[in-house]
Structure 1
Amino acid sequence: MNSVIVLQKPMHKSKTRLNGLLSSDQRIGLAYSMLYDVLKVLSKVPSIDELSIVTSDPDAIQLAKKFGAKLYFEQSVAGMNQAIKTVVDSLDHRVKELLILPGDIPLITVNEVDFIMKQKRRVPVTIFPCKDRTGTNGLILSPPKVIDTAFGTNSIEKHRLNAMKVGCEYLLGTAPLLSYDIDTTMDLYYIEKFGKGTKTYDYIYSQGIIEKLKMKEVVS
């Protein structure tokens, strides 16, 4: 049995690096739209046995219900890694493989995730890099407790070190669309280029965000 867990911090605390471009309400709207896209895709992946989300955000909880995701309520915001540890400790013993994903990768597709999940695991730890190849946008642990997670700055190197500390092999996986997390103003152009058909694409255009971004570049 495999499980996929999506991490979602409170939406009002999300995407603070976009403060100069987006209002607080727009940041919340963007975070909501991205999580919607992520859960919608994951809910349709045939090879996923169990879909879960760890969050304390009320809107994220409603989305979890909408897409049939199991909820792990984050009692206190103690950071991603502590939240993951709490969830892993309470997983059903039948879960032999765990994929951990953030809620801000709205370009993922059913086919890409299904391909990832169906691959035969050659190693216990598979790390999927973000676009700059320093952070981790996806992590497969088989079994789920094989290493402690180290999401945050330079997490790829930290996950490598954690694997080596316990003497297990790791692999850098390939998943192009999974690598596009949306954190900065320039990241929004990835939505414009690749995101047609997503709620995130519709949202940034309904809010005039791309036009505002282009005008800001012209002025600067």
Structure 2
Amino acid sequence: MEELYVIIPVSKFKDAKTRLSPFLSQNERENLLKSMLKDVVGYLKNFIENILIVSNDEDVLIYAKELGAVPLKENENSDLNLGLKQSMEFLMDKCKKVLIIPSDIPLISHSNIKNIIDSSKSHDFIISPSRGGGTNSLIIKPLAIEMVFGDYSFFKHYKNAVKNDLNPIIYDSFFLSLDVNTIEDLGEILLHGKGTNTEKYLKSLDIKVDSIHGAERLKVFR
């Protein structure tokens, strides 16, 4: 039995990052998600060979194979949390713990992954928050708690861990907390994501960023 498997849930490419639709076309948003997923899988592959990508999109599952990951087709009428439950049921007899990571955190670093994996050797529940109160990484034993990804899931997962005496450990990192949802997030990638596939793709679209002093910290334009 393997010590650790990674689970990456991925939405349909055609539905990728709709909040960016005023700024990026559908095709650009699809390619953005592909770039981010390639970055995330690439970093993880340096530490963990076993990566499962779960989706109900055949195009995503084909791309998962291209990245060297194991594709898992979601059941009909599923959603994010049901897909994660299905993934953990699939992995129950294959690994001791799972690391759940979203597809849209291209700033994740080697040190982030190493620190989380090292901590998992002595802790059964490690959680990282997103900037908006979501969950951007989670290490647990399969099906140890119910998955409640969505609004403010960090607090819900943490509360459930405490309730089940799992002694939750928080791993907090700026780079790990940045999931890409807004135009300003694209600016953070341009500033901090040097050398990533995502940064290179944004530059290929001639997207630029300036620091400003106003209601928003960054001005992103093309």
TM-score for both structures, normalised by structure 1 = 0.87
Say whether the 8 Å CA contact 2:130–2:177 is kept in structure 1: yes
Q: Where does 1:120-139 land on structure 2 (aligned, <5 Å)? A: 120-132=120-132, 134-139=133-138
In structure 2, the partner of 1:27 is 29
Q: Which has the higher contact order (CA 8 A, sep 6+)?
A: 1
In structure 2, the partner of 1:67 is 67
What count of residue pairs does the alignment treat as equivalent?
A: 212
Say whether the 8 Å CA contact 2:75–2:83 is kept in structure 1: no
Q: Where does 1:48-127 land on structure 2 (aligned, <5 Å)? A: 48-76=48-76, 78-127=78-127
**Inter-partner Cα distance in structure 1 for 2:128 and 2:171:** 5
In structure 2, the partner of 1:37 is 39
Q: Give the superposition deviation at 1:123.
A: 4.1
**Inter-partner Cα distance in structure 2 for 1:205 and 1:120:** 36
**Inter-partner Cα distance in structure 2 for 1:8 and 1:110:** 21
Show CA shifts across 1:108-167 (max 9, x none).
1233212211225554321101124x11101110x2221111111000111122223323
Say whether the 8 Å CA contact 2:40–2:108 is kept in structure 1: yes
Q: Give the superposition deviation at 1:49.
A: 4.7
1:202 pairs with 187, 200, 203, which one? 200
Structure 1: give runs of 5+ residues left out of the alignment.
none
Say whether the 8 Å CA contact 1:163–1:169 is kept in structure 2: yes
Across the aligned residues of Structure 1 and Structure 2, the Cα RMSD in angstroms comes to 2.1
Show CA shifts across 1:79-130 (max 9, x none).
2110000111121424111100010011112332122112255543211011
Say whether the 8 Å CA contact 1:101–1:138 is kept in structure 2: yes
Q: Give the superposition deviation at 1:64.
A: 1.8
Most deviating of 153-162 and 67-76: 67-76
